[in-house]
Amino acid sequence: MPYLIIFLAIVVIIAFKSIKVVKQSEVYIIERLGKFHKIADAGLTIIIPFIDHVRSVVSLKEQTMDIPPQGVITEDNVTITIDTVVFYQITDPAKAVYEIQSLRKGIEYLAITTIRDIVGKMSLDSTFSSRDLINNQLRILLDDATDKWGCKVNRVEIKDITPPPDIRDAMEKQMNAERNKRAAILQAEGEKQSAITIAEGQKEAAILQAEADKEAQIRRAAGEAEAIREVAVAKAQEIQMVFESIKKANPDDKLIQLKSLEALKELANGDANKVFIPFEATKALSSLGAIKEVMKDDKK
């Protein structure tokens, strides 16, 4: 009976050592007598106890690794602190185990030296405005360097870039100055646009006023011309009536001469300096001269 129990215990131990269950997204590196034998994928795996040995359990999932913040000197001799995270995935478990002592340490050291090399060739302003460029260069360089270790670097992200306190204060002052400058420019542009709008309004108002004055003058002149025309028509009608009346009266030459003299009298009493006498009126004047001479002879 004790032998049976011992036998069953040995069978259980052998079974425990022989049967291995590999989880999803993991692989086992199996060694036989200290030499690489095979890679056990997810599922049930049988090994030979005391001969085969599980060297390492490797995860095939994408992993993240925080790179400790590193002080980096830029091209313009400013020391900044860069905090980085690396996303990587093991593609060849055997290389990841046998080609390097510690894969995570190797990636960390490569990332640190690569960051210093890239940022050391850039100015301070470039490091803030070129994060995507730095991330892409880091990913390419790390991916090429870790390929022989069976590792693929998928992404590299710079989490934070911290400049020294004095540089930060100077940058904040510069940012405030730029903000104030933009505000002043916007205010000046607003005032300029307002002045332009007011000037355009005044111009349009002046144009409309000039057009209104012009229209008023035209209407006034038209009214005056119409009044003059009506007066002229009335005068012409009056003259026509007088002419018709005189024509019906059949006046003789003496009456016409007398009326002409009356018209000359009124014309001479006017403000004009020169008086134009019609040719017909000279006959009346010559007659008056003859009468005057006759009267003188009678007195003598």
- What are the residue boundaries of the structural domains of the chain, listed by start? 2-59, 63-163, 166-249, 251-300
Report the pLDDT averaged over residues 30-41: 89
The answer to whether the beta carbons of residues 52 and 34 sit under 8 Å apart is no
> Is it the case that residue 55 has pLDDT exceeding 80?
yes
* The two structure tokens encoding residue 21: 């269950």
Top pLDDT among 236 and 68 is at: 68
Report the pLDDT averaged over residues 34-44: 87
> Is it the case that residue 86 has pLDDT exceeding 90?
yes
> CATH number of 63-163: 3.90.25.10, 3.40.50.1220, 3.30.479.30, 3.20.20.70?
3.30.479.30
Dihedral Cα 141, 145, 148, 150, nearest 10 deg: -60
Model pLDDT, residue 251 = 59
Per-residue confidence at 85, pLDDT binned at 50, 70, 90?
very high
Tell me the pLDDT of the chain averaged across its residues. Answer: 80
Top pLDDT among 257 and 16 is at: 16
Report the pLDDT averaged over residues 183-200: 87
Model pLDDT, residue 290 = 47
Per-residue confidence at 273, pLDDT binned at 50, 70, 90?
very low
> Is it the case that residue 175 has pLDDT exceeding 80?
no
Model pLDDT, residue 256 = 59
The answer to whether the beta carbons of residues 225 and 218 sit under 8 Å apart is no
